[in-house]
Amino acid sequence: MIKQTILLAPLLFIVLVPPAKAQIDFAEHDGTFSIIGRDPTTGELGIGVHSKTVAVGSRTRGGKGGVAIFAYQAASNPMYSMIGIELLEAGMSPQQALDMMLRSDNDRNRRQVAILDVLGRTAVWTSPDINDWKGHKCSTNYCAQGNTLTGPEVVAAMSDSFESTSGPLAERLLDALDAAQAAGGDKRGMQSASLMVLKPLSGAGGYSDRLLDLRVDEHKQPLRELRRVLAAFRARESLRSVRPKINEGKLQEALALAIRTRDLFPEGDSAWIAIANVQLRLGNRTEALRALEHAISLNPANKAQLLSNENFVSLYDDPAFQNMVSNNESE
């Protein structure tokens, strides 16, 4: 471990100190509030972040499933995550890693950095020189921080929310962001927000540690829109459980899951198609047609898609189905 740390030291200085021409004006810093959290039951690590800047999620968060999650804001520097992961994997604690990186960073007084590792240990730095109000509050399994805020009540609201809620980590993080915004939030207003949850081998069919990675890069109500996107993500997860039940012949259970999926994200069309598929298998032809009509009203592209969907071959000669998928504008 000592040898690894010695080898990393020159690299720390090179990557954490940008060239003079790359210096960022304070007016362009990311005024941000964020919360990093851990679910000790699932091992998930996550971050929720919001700012009155565009695409805040593109530059203020990082991490590795099974290792740690990082928030870096004000003058953001993603190398805190990239190097921090190596230091933690070499055996350092979050505080040791953060202290070492800060010592190598000539711009540390422009930073706000927080680390939460897979054991629930935290470390945080809030420079006294970044925009007021700034501050943080950390405990086991979470750390809440922010700058350019209306006041200390914003960070306190995130902390209180996370400590008092239960359920999936992503929803708890988003609840904390909502609480922070209700307490005043970024004093300049709202523009973008993001959620990321990490767990080893949990995303992209087991090839990624990104279990969930959602962003709203520009919106008048980014937190409200982020919750809508999260609902769509949860509905997609729920929909995946319908097909196995169909294959097992458990059609009533499949129908219940399809209806649950619809209720999670009512504006989505995929759940209605799943409902139609199950209803048709149950012999409920009329209900199947009604569900398909809903799917087409939500997404007219389904007219063409249904004609190549083998689940609905038995409807191809049905006049009601033919009328439904017709492209005749008068119908």
Question: How confident is the model over 52-103, as pLDDT tens digits?
Answer: 999 999 999 999 999 999 999 998 899 999 999 999 999 999 999 999 999 9
Residue 212 placed within a domain: yes
Let me know whether 164 and 34 are in one domain: yes
Whether 11 and 105 map to the same domain: the answer is: yes
Q: Of 87, 91, 109, give the one whose Cα is nearest residue 100.
A: 87
- Burial class of 309 by CB neighbour count within 10 A (0 to 12, 13 to 18, 19+): middle
Domain count, the chain: 2
Q: Is 42 helix (H, G, I), strand (E, B) or coil?
A: coil
Mean pLDDT for 181-196 is 95
Q: Per residue in 113-161, pLDDT tens?
A: 999 999 999 999 999 999 999 999 999 999 999 999 999 999 999 999 9
In this structure, are residues 183 and 156 in contact, taking their beta carbons and an 8 Å threshold? yes
Residue 178 lies inside a defined structural domain of this protein: yes
Q: How far apart are CA 242 and CA 282, in angstroms?
A: 14
Confidence of residue 190 (pLDDT cuts 50, 70, 90): very high
Among residues 213, 236, 259, the one where a domain terminates is 236
Quote the strand ranges of 75-134, DSSP E.
Answer: 111-117, 122-126
Which pTM was predicted?
Answer: 0.87
Longest dimension (CA), the chain: 76
Q: Tell me: pLDDT of 301 over 50.
A: yes
Domain range enclosing 285: 242-325
192: domain CATH number? Answer: 3.60.20.10
Residues 42 and 189 in one domain: yes
What integer is the mean pLDDT of 278-285?
A: 96
Is 57 a domain residue? yes
Residue 135: inside a domain, yes or no? yes
Instruction: Indicate whether 86 belongs to any domain.
Output: yes
Name the one residue in this structure whose structure tokens are 């007084």.
109
Are residues 150 and 249 both part of a single domain?
A: no
- The pLDDT-based confidence of 24 (bands split at 50, 70, 90) is very low
Per the model's pLDDT, the better-predicted residue between 327 and 177 turns out to be 177
Banded pLDDT at 207 (limits 50, 70, 90): confident
Together in a domain, 314 and 215: no
Same domain, 262 and 225: no
Report which of 134, 84, 128 is spatially closest to residue 104, judged by C-alpha positions: 84
Which helix (H) or strand (E) is 169 found in, with range? helix 169-182
Q: Say if 65 falls within a structural domain.
A: yes
- Between CA 115 and CA 52, with CA 29 as vertex, the angle to 5 degrees is 90
